[in-house]
Structures are given as structure tokens and as C-alpha cells.
Amino acid sequence: MRFNHVANRLHPAQFETVVALFTEVLHFAILRRTERAIWLRQPGFNIDLQFSRSETPNRDADKLRSQIAFITHTPEADLQRLAAWLTERGCPASVGAYSPREFYLDAPSAFVDFVIEAMLPELADYPIPDTAP
């Protein structure tokens, strides 16, 4: 089996705002859309991100441990920029820190079961054994 995509849930009221963040600011392409979900891909990569609409009234209490993660040399500043973009569009967002090298963005009215993480590149610099079929 080959890895294809991951899926996360968004509140319907903020669904289009978050999709716009990923397409307009982070330059993801829309691959497919249904009434309840959308599939996105960042150019140059082969892993897709699916967002599904969720009316779930309870937010995951431990959602800080479930991230859509990005690598960048300026993680806190990049997330602050995204938080401001969301907030300007009626989706309040804030940035917190796991450590001085990794940060997270939460938009509680939109993100049901995840946060967006940004971390320094050295945190993802680990050897990967060649196990391709």
C-alpha cells in the first residue's frame, strides 16, 4: 500500500475561509470537491490533504497533538501571518509554542481536530531508510 492523503475536519461556517487560506496563501491546488469535502495538494508534493465539513459540537480536547505540519525558517512569524489573515476574515486565530523551534496555529471556530504546526527544518532532518517496493 502507498500513502495517499490525510483528512481533517472543519466547521462548516469556516470551511471556505480555511480552504481560501490553503489555496490563496499557501498555494495549494484543489484536486476534487464534493458537497462535504475537498482534496488539496501543495505543488511539488504527492501527499494530499482532505478537509471534511463537520458539525461536531465538541472539539477534540487534545487536538494540539494532531497537526498539519510545515517546515520553514521563520515558523512563528509565518504562523502569525496566517493567524492575522484568518482573523481579518472573521475566523479568530492564535499562535502558541511547543518549543522555541516549533509553533502552532489554532482557529478554534474552524479547526475541529487539528492545529497547523510550523517548525524549523532541522527538526525534520532525519535519515529515511530506502524501503520503496
**H or E element: which one contains 122?**
none
CA nearest to 47, candidates 31, 64, 24: 31
Tell which wins on pLDDT, 62 or 16. 16
What digits encode the pLDDT tens for the residues 86-123? 999 999 999 999 999 999 999 999 999 999 999 999 99
- Report residue 131's pLDDT band, with 50, 70 and 90 as the boundaries: low
- Report the CATH number of the 5-124 domain: 3.10.180.10
Domains of the chain by residue range: 5-124
Could you tell me if 12 and 104 are in contact, meaning their C-beta atoms sit under 8 angstroms apart? no
Q: What is the pTM of this model?
A: 0.90
Contacts of 72 (CB under 8 A, 6+ apart): 78, 118, 119, 120, 121
